[in-house]
Structure 1
């Protein structure tokens, strides 16, 4: 088949013009070369494709059937070339991003909103999942980018930091007051006497907090495990307990008094978050555009 591609181009031009001389002129090759190519294709297929006459050539029945398929094939190739040209001119492309629900909502979406407004022809697929799943998909090259906390192991992974985050514990004033009244004390240890809302085991953020607990010899007595940080915030808001959250995303609610931050000594160390990508993957034009854009966006945020 590969050896026949040039022969099919010649066949297509002769069939369209109905004349070997005009086909030779259009293709900038000699008439004998055209005749030789047609004869070779007929020999390969063991079928006559043209009837020669004084006015030129005419497709045989078999030639007409082949012509329809060849025309469809060349139309598809033309369409593919047009698509590539459009991608280059308009920045059309497809970017696949893996990100947790909370980072998607609070970190990715503001940037994505502005990028899509500027480059509406770029298609995005967002995979909302855990950091571990994102890193696994990156390794398999099934996504182009991930937005995660800085991974501890970076084999074949490039980490592009965009900001720092702070973990902490928050609760409503009413929850803390009720806990103190229940315990009959002016001060009460949330981790000893309260309900602590945390992400499920295995989550990267949960592991980070557990490491902090071990270092500070903290052991919560009453845990309520929740699948997403958004749910932790919602549960804390209705007074179900003290939630372990990323403080960056509830600063306004801490400021207006909806939540009270639980003081910790020492505070939980900050973490870096950023985009990760596989160092062994090639980058499309659209992906390079997005990388350049988010670096500028977060630098000026």
Structure 2
């Protein structure tokens, strides 16, 4: 485009008004300034855009051709402005959240349910993967916020604490009875069981591996399982001893479906919360979500 937008706006206003004096009042500029702008536009386009009449000015054939396109352009701009205003008024936006499948199901969903109810025009996308992967996506600016187990180092992340989670080992009464029949002592259950743990590379798995190593618990047999729900299901049918989050199996512990293995040294509780990158320019959607979770506590959480 060889001319600036203001020149075309003056041209468009004069064409609609059909009179330079009237256009000058609408634009709050002098008539000479309008005439100079039109002359400059005509010189740049190398054609006459207006011809004078007794009533004012009228478009030439060339002017009419240009007006049709300029009119469409300004109408499109006006439409864009109106859509933007409506979007802002409605709170339209997008929010990308990273979270593990376990935390998504048992911790994030209650927040999302109420947030979506209050902000129906913000579209949510979920990236389900381990906390380590979530932190990488945050670092690469590929997601807006993550629900994570608090890492040893937060680096450049803001962290908002939600709750503690407690890891425990569970199995069935029958599995414990069979171990006892083989002469396994209560203090040696983990060493002599088939331990079912989350896949390696998961932050929870590393946390449990560190616990086992620090307490010199040497595992003879173990199974890597992809998610917490499968760990619980396998534990229920007596495959072995599973490491799970205590709050998730509270019902099974209460009705005796699963039994918690007593530990001489309990596993330290871990902090869980929302994290986002400090250096990021926060989108309106993310700011809305942050204000929401800072003031909201799910009833069933």
User: TM-score, normalized by length of structure 2?
Assistant: 0.88
Three-state SS of the structure 2 residue aligned to 1:250 is helix
Is the CA contact 1:171–1:242 (under 8 Å) kept in the aligned structure 2?
A: yes
| 1:217 corresponds to | 216
- Measured at CA, do residues 154 and 56 of structure 1 come closer, stay the same or move farther in structure 2, by a change above 3 Å? same
Three-state SS of the structure 2 residue aligned to 1:151 is coil
Greater CA drift, 89-98 or 269-278: 89-98
Output the CA distance in 2 between the equivalents of 1:227 and 1:72: 56
Is the CA contact 1:11–1:38 (under 8 Å) kept in the aligned structure 2?
A: yes
Output the CA distance in 1 between the equivalents of 2:156 and 2:186: 49
Say what the alpha-carbon RMSD is for the aligned residues.
2.5
**1:44-193 map, 5 Å:** 44-181=44-181, 183=182, 189-193=188-192
How many Å apart are 1:185 and its aligned residue?
Answer: 5.5
Output the CA distance in 2 between the equivalents of 1:64 and 1:175: 88
Q: Does 1:21 align with 2:29?
A: no
How many Å apart are 1:37 and its aligned residue?
Answer: 1.4
- Measured at CA, do residues 63 and 143 of structure 1 come closer, stay the same or move farther in structure 2, by a change above 3 Å? farther
Is the CA contact 1:148–1:274 (under 8 Å) kept in the aligned structure 2?
A: yes
How many equivalent pairs are there? Answer: 300
Q: Does 1:253 align with 2:246?
A: no
Is the CA contact 1:199–1:226 (under 8 Å) kept in the aligned structure 2?
A: yes
How many Å apart are 1:111 and its aligned residue?
Answer: 1.0
| 2:283 corresponds to | 284
Output the CA distance in 1 between the equivalents of 2:180 and 2:121: 56
Q: Alpha-carbon deviations, 1:35-77, whole Å to 9, x = none?
A: 2212222223334333443333344444444434433433343
Is the CA contact 1:92–1:121 (under 8 Å) kept in the aligned structure 2?
A: yes
Output the CA distance in 1 between the equivalents of 2:247 and 2:191: 26
Q: Alpha-carbon deviations, 1:8-48, whole Å to 9, x = none?
A: 22122223333333322222222222222122222233343
Output the CA distance in 1 between the equivalents of 2:298 and 2:112: 15
Output the CA distance in 2 between the equivalents of 1:65 and 1:191: 84
User: TM-score, normalized by length of structure 1?
Assistant: 0.88
Three-state SS of the structure 1 residue aligned to 2:4 is helix
How many Å apart are 1:269 and its aligned residue?
Answer: 0.1
Greater CA drift, 77-86 or 107-116: 77-86
Q: Alpha-carbon deviations, 1:200-233, whole Å to 9, x = none?
A: 1111111111111111011221111112222222
Output the CA distance in 2 between the equivalents of 1:99 and 1:274: 10
Is the CA contact 1:180–1:188 (under 8 Å) kept in the aligned structure 2?
A: no
Q: Which runs of 5+ in 2 are unaligned?
A: none
- Measured at CA, do residues 234 and 48 of structure 1 come closer, stay the same or move farther in structure 2, by a change above 3 Å? farther
Q: Does 1:43 align with 2:43?
A: yes
Output the CA distance in 2 between the equivalents of 1:52 and 1:258: 94
Output the CA distance in 1 between the equivalents of 2:66 and 2:235: 70
